[in-house]
Amino acid sequence: MRNLRHLLLFAALAAFLPSLLPAQEAPPAFTGDLGWSFIRTELEREAVGLLIEFSPQLNQGRYLSGSGGAGYLGPSFALRTGSDDAFESILAKVTGFWIGTPPLDEDNEPDYIRHWVHVFPFSAGLETDRDFTTPAGVIELGWTPLGPRGRINPARPQARFGLAPDRRFGLFLQGGYKFKAAENPASLPSGAGDLDASAEKPDAALARIKAELAYGFDWEDRVLLLPLGTVWYDVVNGEVYFRAEGLIRFMLVQNRYFLDFRYEKGSGAPKFNEGDQFSAGLAIAF
């Protein structure tokens, strides 16, 4: 039944979201990804996964500026869920970044093209699972480098380290409070993916150090191979968690529809329940 609900939800979103996109001459109001996949879990179960990520398009009214750089602030939402013991998480937050001013060029203007630039992302919001059994308020502060731009490629104008989503590195400090949700039969664990394996205790503060690295390879902008590694260190309890992912993506329609094959091993926030799973499915960028 849960598989059917996920399929119907994906079909509705796939039909509805593209209709909100304006004509080509006007930028979309928001950007994001929608994905639906078949999953084979560590417990040899067949599951269905749903991924939704979206945030408003960069808007001039939400930019910040100062003598030391410039920044941006806006909302963001990400939902990852699935049936049986599939990985899951919900993130709803206000997020943004601050870009430090790089060295000046020959015209005495900040040179954002030829130098490494320091970017400081930040966010504050809610982190939980699909049943809201592990809600936590989390504030995140980070650092990620933005590499110099090499040869300009009109087909991939953002293909520089730190801007391209498939080539990035980041260090983050996470702090907050994990609340104790009210127990009810609907929120009881029903599979391995529902178990809270985290050492973080309810009604207590949480503190983590997070590191993330991705470096992808693409062929003619039609096939993408993307390895991604993430490590969390639980400062309060001295625990270490990790997640390793491998993605092979085939572009079906230019910058819109993709066929994804993904392997994941490890764990992740908020429950840090360890496992591995393979998935294959359709992704839509909007």
Segment 58-69, tens digit of pLDDT = 655 566 777 777
pLDDT attached to residue 21: 44
Distances in whole angstroms, Cα of residue 45 to Cα of each of 40, 41, 85, 277: 6, 5, 8, 10
Task: Report whether 125 contacts 91 (CB < 8 A).
Answer: yes
Q: Mind listing the pLDDT tens digit for each residue in 164-193?
A: 667 889 999 999 999 986 554 444 444 445
Instruction: Count each helix (H run) and each strand (E run) in the chain, helices first.
Output: 1, 14
The domains of the chain, with CATH numbers, are 2-285 (2.40.160.40)
Q: What is the largest CA-CA distance in the chain?
A: 67
Q: Mean per-residue pLDDT for 210-232?
A: 91
Residues in contact with 152: Cβ distance below 8 Å, sequence separation at least 6, in sequence order: none
Q: Mind listing the pLDDT tens digit for each residue in 119-170?
A: 899 999 999 887 788 899 999 999 998 888 765 555 554 566 776 667 889 9
Nearest one of 59, 58, 50 to 12, comparing CA atoms? 50
